[in-house]
Structure 1
Amino acid sequence: MSFKIAIIGAGSVGFTKKLFTDILCVPEFRDVEFALTDLSERNLQMIKSILDRVVEFNRLPTKVTATTDRRAALEGARYIISCVRVGGLEAYADDIRIPLKYGIDQCVGDTICAGGILYGQRNIPVILDFCKDILEVAEPGAKFLNYANPMAMNTWAAIEYGKVDTVGLCHGVQHGADQIAEVLGAKSRTELDYICSGINHQTWFIDLRLNGRKIGKDELVAAFEAHPVYSQQEKLRIDVLKRFGVYSTESNGHLSEYLPWYRKRPDEITRWIDMSDWIHGETGGYLRYSTETRNWFETEFPQFLESAARPIDPAKRSNEHASHILEALETNRVYRGHFNVKNNGIVTNLPQDAIIESPGFVDRFGINMAAGITLPEACAATCTSSINVQRMSVHAAISGDIDLLKLAVLHDPLVGAVSTPEEVWQMVDEMVVAQARWLPQYAEAVPAAKERLSKSRIKTREWAGAARRDVRSIDELRAEKTALKQAV
């Protein structure tokens, strides 16, 4: 088989390499062309060097190109994969820093909450540019696979306004299933069957079967509480399981941002999180991790290049959905996964226009979702709160309506639990002014926002958050990696 795959934001080096090697685990895909595109010429050449090394070592006919000309990369592509982070770490730092001045402590800030909403405002105009190019120069009927956050908002905009065949992809369901299989003592995840549904980052394991036997709430709670690691790392997640009756796919830190109950006071934050790794609730944890990862890659690039000279091992193919979807569409080998698509009746008690994440099957006929799923009422209520925020955020990003943007942030569950309307109005003004270069739709609103900020008397504070850690140096990272190797 010979077709073209374009990867936008290919400078996300580790993730691009994973997608690349996963796809090449499919024997029929040896002759595929990969077209890499990114704003950074330097990052593009680094990742191309790595992928060229993989191709050369494995003696494959695979073609890899790299260009900063996005339309050239998209020309004739059958599949387009997006891994973009508009504004990079510079804008992301403001997503965390500015809300902290108003008492809003985020672990990740890339889905909803103040940071996630502004992230969506930066991404959506760019996503629509992608869609325009796809319709104009890609292969007719090309499929857009969006991995970029905020997943629901990006996918919503691409489907509703970009008019491109789009599916949103995430790995939260797979990671949650791995945990459940482990605590229940399964020999492998293949022993666990499940139905998981909801919205991205708020998906719920509503039916669990271990070797065909149904697993109830009490058994699952007991299994997690008995686990020596997860009982400490997932305290908030276990508490939600006890109260809602079902387990959430999302990590302790991520889940804490979407609910109004666990991060609204500093003493409550430290009670529910775990500092053994960023993902369990650390303030700005993902920003720190992303910064360290970038610094490590730039310093240790020769090591990454050397490690690329290894055989592609199909046994080590990851559980990221992309390669499996492409394999099913092209070869008719059926794949079951969990996908982000427009609801349209798939989940009965969520809004029809929402982007839901739910089970589906892929074959040559496309992605076929299992319809008629009904969530437990508490899960549906929590998801609906987020969907309302997402809808307003998408509409604000499309229209450039700063008042609607402020209303979206005001209705965010965690923001509403922490901040007053006056604080929200000022915070949004401050974020829009700080990120103006990535927010072209708000250009006309920026001067008035600056004027309001110059006259504001609302007090803010310089606060690092309830559980902030400093970015580690390369030497510190090396020492930690060496210690881990010695421990193993």
Structure 2
Amino acid sequence: MSFKIAIIGAGSVGFTKKLFTDLLCVPEFRDIEVALTDISQHNLDMIKAILEKIVEANGFPVKVTADTNRRRALEGAKYIISCVRVGGLEAYADDIRIPLKYGIDQCVGDTICAGGILYGQRNIPVILDFCKDIREVAAPGAKFLNYANPMAMNTWAAIEYGKVDTVGLCHGVQHGAEQIAEILGAKSVSELDYICSGINHQTWFIDLRLNGRKIGKDELVAAFEAHPVFSQQEKLRIDVLKRFGVYSTESNGHLSEYLPWYRKRPEEIARWIDMSDWIHGETGGYLRHSTETRNWFETEFPQFLASAAKPIDPAKRSNEHASHILEALETGRVYRGHFNVKNNGVISNLPADAIIESPGFVDRFGINMVSGITLPEACAATCMASINVQRMSVHAAVSGDIDLLKLAVLHDPLVGAVATPEEVWQMVDEMVVAQARWLPQYADAVPAAKERLAKSSVKTRDWTGAARRNVRSIEELRAEKSALKKAV
């Protein structure tokens, strides 16, 4: 088979390498073209060198191109994959730093909450530019696979306003299933059969079976509490499991910032998080992790390049959805996964316009969702709170309506648990002014926001959060990796 795949934001080097390697695990895909595009020529040069090394080592006739001209890269592409982070780590740092001044402590801040909403404001205009290019220069009927966060907002905008065939992809469901398989003593995750449904990062294991035997709440709670690691790392998720009756797919740290109950008071945060790794609730944990990863890759690039020169092992193909979806669409081999699409009745007790994450099957006829699912009422209520925020956030991002943006942030569960309306209004003004270069739709609103900030009497504080860690140096990272190797 010969067709073109374009990857936007290909400078996300590690993730792009994984997607590319997965694609080459499909025997029929050894003659494809992969077009890389990014705003950073430096990052493009690095990832192109790595992918060409993989191609050379395996002797495949795959064509790899790299171009900072996105429109040129998208010409004739049948599939377009996006993994962009608009504003990079500089804007992301503001997503964490500014809300902390108002008492809002986020672990990740890329889905909802103050940080995720502003992330969406930066991303959505760019996503719509992608969609315009796809409509005009990509292959007819091209499919857009969005990996970028905020997943639901980006996918919502691409479908409702971009008018492009779009599916959102995430790996939270797979990671949750791996945890459950481990605590139940399964030899592999293949022994587990499950249905997850909800919205991205708030998906719920509403039906769970191990080798055909249904697993209930009590057995799952007991298994998690008995596990020597997860019992400490997933305290908040276990508490939600006890109260809701079903397990959330999302990590302890992520889940904590979508709910109004666990991060509302600094003295409470320590009860529910674990500091063994960023993902379990550390203040600004993913920002620290992303910064360290970028620094490490820049320093150790020769090592990454050398490691690319080895044969691909199809047995080590990852569980990221993209390659499996393309394989199913192109070959007809059926693939079952969990996908982000417009609801339209798939989940009976969520709105039709919402972007939901739920089971589906892929074959030559496309992505076919399993419809008629009803969430437990508590799960639906939690999802609804986020959906309402997402809807307002998308419409604000498209219209440039700063008042609607403020209302979206005001209705966010964690923000509402911590901040007053006056604080929210000032915080949004401050974030929009700080990130103005990435928010063209708010250009007319920035001068007035600056004036309000100059006159404001709302007090803020200089706070780094309840559980902040410093970014580690390359030397510290190297010493830690060396210690881990010795321990193994």
**Fold shared by both chains (TM-score > 0.5):** yes
Q: How far apart are 1:376 and its partner, in Å?
A: 0.1
Q: How far apart are 1:398 and its partner, in Å?
A: 0.5
Q: Any residues of structure 2 matched to 1:7-86 within 5 Å, and which?
A: 7-86=7-86
TM-score normalised by length of structure 2? 1.00
Find the aligned partners of 2:195 and 2:378 in 1 and give their Cα distance: 17
1:328-374 alpha-carbon deviations (Å, 9 max, x no partner): 00000000000000000000000110000000000000000000000
1:383 aligned partner: 383
1:417 aligned partner: 417
2:358 aligned partner: 358
Q: Any residues of structure 2 matched to 1:122-161 within 5 Å, and which?
A: 122-161=122-161
Q: Any residues of structure 2 matched to 1:229-244 within 5 Å, and which?
A: 229-244=229-244
2:396 aligned partner: 396
Structure 1's consecutive aligned runs of 4 or more residues displaced over 3 angstroms after TM superposition are none
1:338 aligned partner: 338
Find the aligned partners of 2:170 and 2:391 in 1 and give their Cα distance: 20
Q: How far apart are 1:156 and its partner, in Å?
A: 0.0
Find the aligned partners of 1:147 and 1:311 in 2 and give their Cα distance: 26
Q: Any residues of structure 2 matched to 1:235-384 within 5 Å, and which?
A: 235-384=235-384
Find the aligned partners of 1:312 and 1:73 in 2 and give their Cα distance: 26
TM-score normalised by length of structure 1? 1.00
1:134-191 alpha-carbon deviations (Å, 9 max, x no partner): 0000000000000000000000000000000000000000000000000000000010
2:472 is the counterpart of 1:476: no
Find the aligned partners of 1:472 and 1:425 in 2 and give their Cα distance: 34
Find the aligned partners of 2:372 and 2:165 in 1 and give their Cα distance: 22
Aligned residue identity for 1:140: P
Q: How far apart are 1:267 and its partner, in Å?
A: 1.1
Aligned residue identity for 1:72: R
1:461 aligned partner: 461
1:393-418 alpha-carbon deviations (Å, 9 max, x no partner): 00000000000000000000000000
Between the aligned residues of both structures, percent identity stands at 89
Q: How far apart are 1:45 and its partner, in Å?
A: 0.3
| Partner SS for 2:458 | coil
Find the aligned partners of 1:45 and 1:103 in 2 and give their Cα distance: 41
1:4 aligned partner: 4
Find the aligned partners of 2:106 and 2:28 in 1 and give their Cα distance: 43
| Partner SS for 1:445 | helix
Aligned residue identity for 2:107: C
Find the aligned partners of 1:368 and 1:107 in 2 and give their Cα distance: 34
2:191 is the counterpart of 1:191: yes
2:449 aligned partner: 449
Find the aligned partners of 1:119 and 1:189 in 2 and give their Cα distance: 33
Aligned residue identity for 1:429: D
1:204 aligned partner: 204
Find the aligned partners of 2:352 and 2:210 in 1 and give their Cα distance: 32
| Partner SS for 2:119 | helix
Q: Which runs of no fewer than 5 residues in structure 1 stay unpaired? A: none
Find the aligned partners of 2:485 and 2:315 in 1 and give their Cα distance: 23
- Count of residue correspondences: 488
Find the aligned partners of 1:466 and 1:309 in 2 and give their Cα distance: 44
Find the aligned partners of 1:392 and 1:51 in 2 and give their Cα distance: 40
Find the aligned partners of 2:91 and 2:33 in 1 and give their Cα distance: 32
Q: How far apart are 1:75 and its partner, in Å?
A: 0.1
1:416-451 alpha-carbon deviations (Å, 9 max, x no partner): 000000000000000000000000000000000000
| Partner SS for 1:443 | helix
Aligned residue identity for 1:329: L
2:94 aligned partner: 94
Find the aligned partners of 2:254 and 2:378 in 1 and give their Cα distance: 18
Find the aligned partners of 1:361 and 1:271 in 2 and give their Cα distance: 40
Q: Any residues of structure 2 matched to 1:101-120 within 5 Å, and which?
A: 101-120=101-120
Find the aligned partners of 1:338 and 1:371 in 2 and give their Cα distance: 13
Find the aligned partners of 1:60 and 1:462 in 2 and give their Cα distance: 55
Q: Which runs of no fewer than 5 residues in structure 2 stay unpaired? A: none
Q: How far apart are 1:46 and its partner, in Å?
A: 0.3
Find the aligned partners of 1:443 and 1:237 in 2 and give their Cα distance: 40
| Partner SS for 1:149 | coil
Find the aligned partners of 1:72 and 1:401 in 2 and give their Cα distance: 32
1:429 aligned partner: 429
| Partner SS for 2:310 | coil
Aligned residue identity for 2:397: A
Aligned residue identity for 2:88: G
Find the aligned partners of 2:6 and 2:326 in 1 and give their Cα distance: 13
1:222-257 alpha-carbon deviations (Å, 9 max, x no partner): 000000000000000000000000000000000000
| Partner SS for 2:167 | strand
Q: How far apart are 1:310 and its partner, in Å?
A: 1.0
| Partner SS for 1:258 | coil
| Partner SS for 1:248 | coil
